[in-house]
Every structure is written in C-alpha cells, then in structure tokens.
C-alpha cells in the first residue's frame, strides 16, 4: 500500500503495479474534490489514526507500506511509522529532497505559518500564498497585505482579510508561466512550502529571476525510518522488501546499513 496524495506516489504506484506478483493500493486522504486518475485501486478518507491504520494493515494482509505523502503531511507520516512498527510489516518513506538555495535566491525560512505572516513585515505588500487552503488562517494576523492565494480547491470561506484574490491551480507549474503570473500581479513576496521536486519549483526559479523574496516554511520532522529519495530508489527498496519473506520485514536500521 502506498500512502499518496503526491505525483511521486502516483508514479510509484504505476511502476509497482507493473510487477507481475504485486497488488498495489493507493491511499488518499480524500481532501481534493476531483483527484486526478490513479493507475491502481484507490482507497480514500483515512484510517482513524495509527491504530486504525494498523488494523487496516492486518485485515488486508498488507506486506509493505510506503509513505509517499507530501513532506508536510506530518500527522499521516507519524501514524504510518507507528502502525508499521506495531504490525511489523515492511515500511519505508519516499521523500523528495528539499530544494536548496542557489545564487540569486532571496530566501528566508519560517518555522510555521504564523512566523511567515510576521516575516512579511508591517508595510503592506503584494503576497503570493501557495500553502494549501487549510493553512491560511495565520495570515488573518497580517491583514495589511494584498494576497493572491492559489489552491487546488476553492478556499471556502474566503480568508477574512480586506484584499485577497484566489486562483485555482494544480501543478505542475512551469517557470515561464509562473514568471508571467508574478510579474502580471506585481508580486513582492512569496510564501511557500519547501516541497522539493520539480512540479512546484517554477515559482522558485521565477522568483529568483525577478529577485522576489521567498519565505519558505520549514519542513516538519519525519519519524525515523528507511527512506528513499527518488522513484528509482523506492522501486528498488520495494522490490527488495517484497522479495524477502514476510517475517524479514524491512526495518530502518537494516535498510540504512544496506544503503538502499
Ligand atoms: P496530515 O495532516 O498529515 O494528515 C491528517 C489526516 O489525514 C491523517 O491523520 C489521516 O487521517 C489523513 N490522511 C493524510 N494523508 C492520507 C493518505 N495518503 N491516505 C489516507 N489518509 C490520509 O495530512 P495533510 O498535510 O492534510 O495532507 C493530506 C493529503 O494531501 C496527503 O495525502 C498528502 O500527501 C497530500 N498533500 C499534502 C500537502 C501538504 O502541504 N500538506 C501538499 C500536497 C499534497 P486518519 O488519521 O483518519 O488516517
């Protein structure tokens, strides 16, 4: 079972489903109203915490669970690690490496949304928020800014600040289009997550070209577990785990030693 909600999860599901002896299920939180089509059977709506997930793993006889959720889906990742440990099944995370600053980037980091809102400063600015609609509340404390807010589904109710406009969009977003958007809207600051990967890097590259400051919210800490940083690595780790007898479930220290 792959815990998804990301492009990588979808791609990994397709790769593993191509294996002749492997039945793959993809699990989604069920937040997005019209999720994109997935290449394998999907379950949606969550499990009811770590205990519910553990029950699900036992009931379905799942051999291997891969946490391929977004790097900011901290609760699901914690639940997954706990349920995997409790049930003794194979488990690893697929985590996109974070973006690293390069010359010309004007980045600042913030511990959370509240810190990012404060970092925008007292003077009104035109701000592009790309945080996901459930993480906008901290910006109520900074109503002096003019916000452009992009999300997959509509922000309902709208953010109660005097000036906010909304843009619906689902990545990937390329640099040229992001640059046109930032220029057209006269954006003076961006607040984003350090999602890693290519799908949402366009705004980061465009901000660099336009010398626009970017406030990146820190990634939450991940539970300790074996970790893949790419699809290829994840596919190899899955193949290895599924080739072993169920009792020899992939444990974090063993996987770390093997370096796969
Ligand atoms: P979260 O705060 O870590 O999780 C909250 C709860 O949602 C979990 O306890 C779980 O409910 C359920 N859940 C989350 N991911 C799930 C999954 N893949 N399958 C089944 N249940 C799941 O998660 P979040 O940050 O709201 O993210 C929700 C989903 O959106 C994830 O699938 C994530 O990959 C995707 N996503 C998140 C972000 C982001 O910035 N956070 C960005 C892009 C995509 P139960 O406890 O009931 O099991």
| Residue 220 near ligand 1, beta carbon < 6 Å | no
pLDDT for position 246: 64
What does the block give as tokens for 202?
């366009």
Among protein residues, the one with the nearest Cα to ligand 1's atom 14 is 29
- Show Cβ contacts of residue 91 under 8 Å, excluding neighbours closer than 6 positions: 64, 65, 66, 67, 80, 81, 84, 85, 225, 226, 249, 250
Q: Is 128 helix (H, G, I), strand (E, B) or coil?
A: strand
* pTM for the structure as a whole: 0.91
CA of 76 to the centre of ligand 1 (A): 6
Query: Which residue, chain included where needed, has tokens 């799908």?
Result: 199
In this prediction, residue 204 carries a pLDDT of 98
Task: Confirm if 222 and 192 have CB atoms less than 8 A apart.
Answer: no
Residue in 208, 252, 222 with CA at minimum distance from that of residue 99: 208
- 3 C-beta closer than 6 A to ligand 1: yes
d(CA 114, ligand 1 centre) in Å: 21
Instruction: Answer whether residue 219 shows pLDDT above 90.
Output: yes
34: confidence class by pLDDT, cuts 50, 70, 90: confident
Q: Tell me what the pLDDT averaged over the chain comes to.
A: 93
> 78-92: per-residue pLDDT in tens?
999 999 999 999 999
Ligand 1 centre distance from Cα of residue 19 (Å): 27
What is the percent of the chain where pLDDT is above 90? 87
- Ligand 1 proximity of 166 Cβ (cutoff 6 Å): no
Please report the atom of ligand 1 found closest to the CA of residue 4: 18
Distance between CA atoms of 31 and 221, rounded to whole angstroms?
A: 23
Both ends of the chain: CA-CA distance in Å? 19
pLDDT band at 132 (very low <50, low <70, confident <90, very high): confident
- From the CB of 31, is ligand 1 less than 6 Å away? yes
Confidence of residue 3 (pLDDT cuts 50, 70, 90): very high
What count of residues does the chain have?
260
Whether 27 is in the pocket of ligand 1, judged by its Cβ within 6 Å, is yes
Q: Are 200 and 171 in contact (CB under 8 A)?
A: yes
Is the C-alpha dihedral spanning 101, 106, 111, 112 positive or negative? Answer: negative
């Amino acid at each position: 079972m792959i815990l998804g909600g990301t492009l990588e999860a979808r791609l990994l599901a397709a790769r593993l489903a191509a294996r002749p002896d492997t039945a793959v299920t993809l699990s989604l939180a069920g937040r997005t109203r019209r999720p994109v089509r997935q290449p394998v059977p999907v379950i949606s709506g969550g499990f009811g915490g770590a205990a519910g997930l553990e029950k699900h793993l036992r009931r379905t006889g799942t051999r291997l669970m891969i946490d391929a959720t977004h790097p900011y889906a901290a609760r699901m990742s914690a639940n997954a690690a706990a349920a995997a440990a409790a049930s003794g099944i194979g488990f690893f995370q697929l985590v996109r490496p974070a973006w690293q600053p390069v010359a010309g980037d004007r980045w600042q980091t913030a511990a959370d949304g509240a810190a990012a809102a404060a970092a925008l400063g007292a003077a009104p600015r035109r701000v592009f928020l790309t945080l996901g609609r459930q993480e906008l509340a901290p910006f109520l404390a900074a109503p002096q800014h003019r916000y452009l807010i992009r999300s997959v589904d509509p922000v309902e109710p709208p953010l109660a600040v005097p000036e906010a406009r909304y843009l619906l969009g689902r990545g990937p977003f390329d640099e040229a289009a992001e640059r046109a958007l930032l220029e057209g809207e006269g954006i003076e600051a961006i607040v984003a997550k350090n999602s890693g990967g290519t799908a949402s890097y366009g705004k980061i590259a465009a901000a660099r070209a336009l010398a626009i400051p970017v406030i990146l919210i820190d990634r939450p800490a991940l539970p300790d577990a074996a970790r893949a940083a790419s699809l290829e690595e994840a596919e190899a780790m899955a193949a290895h785990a599924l080739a072993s007898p169920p009792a020899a479930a992939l444990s974090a220290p063993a996987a770390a030693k093997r370096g796969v």
